[in-house]
Amino acid sequence: MSELTTIARPYAKAAFEFAVDNNAVADWNNMLEFAAQVASNEQVLSYVSSKASEEQAEIFISVCAEQINEYGQNLIKVLAENGRLIALPAVAELFTEFKAEYDKEIDVDITSATELAVNQQEALVSALEKRFSRKIKLNCSVDETLVGGLVVKAGDNVIDGSIRGKLDRLATTLQS
């Protein structure tokens, strides 16, 4: 996957810069997500890969129909010419990351021992927005093995405030 990411990065960056210049970041994000779903389809991918690059682009564009504008079609043509249509899902993923950075958003995964009430979620969002200086998109899940407390994952940051985590750290300390 890292090879595809390396291949996809310049395409995603160029598409993102173009989208920012034309105030169309949300439109491009939707376009790329749709095209990535088409490119992830095994039947479409196997059929398209057996064709010449110009034909690949035409087939791919006809499958996407009105979901992709003329600029998105140009991107598809360039990807097909360079034999990179397989990297389209990675392009879309990187574009979404660039968009989140541009929008100053961050996805935060909260795992708690019990379901959080709405007011608890709002308090967490408020505190995390101050900490990360970004808009927070909260994803909550429940894991009863935590016993109590929370585990917060935001990008590379992990804050383990669960009782299970504290017990594990205590056990490690006592064993050393």
Residue 109 sits in the same domain as residue 76: no
Range of the domain at 70: 2-101
**Beta-bridge partner residues of 139:** 109
**pTM for the full model?**
0.66
> Residue 156 maps to which CATH number?
3.40.30
Residue 156 sits in the same domain as residue 121: yes
* Last residue within a domain, chosen from 101, 117, 133: 101
The angle that helices 42-49 and 25-40 make with each other, rounded to 10 degrees, is 80
**Beta-bridge partner residues of 152:** 110, 159
* Last residue within a domain, chosen from 85, 101, 117: 101
Q: Give the residue ranges of the chain where pLDDT is below 50.
A: none
Residue 56 sits in the same domain as residue 84: yes
Looking at residue 109, its pLDDT comes to 94
Give the pLDDT confidence of 121-169 residue by residue, as tens digits: 999 999 999 988 888 989 999 998 888 889 999 888 899 988 988 999 9
Domain count, the chain: 2
> Residue 24 maps to which CATH number?
1.10.520.20
- As separate numbers, helices (DSSP H) first and strands (DSSP E) second, the chain gives 8, 4
Looking at residue 47, its pLDDT comes to 75
Residue 77 sits in the same domain as residue 116: no
The angle that helices 70-81 and 2-21 make with each other, rounded to 10 degrees, is 150
Looking at residue 175, its pLDDT comes to 92
Residue 51 sits in the same domain as residue 116: no
Residue 96 sits in the same domain as residue 9: yes
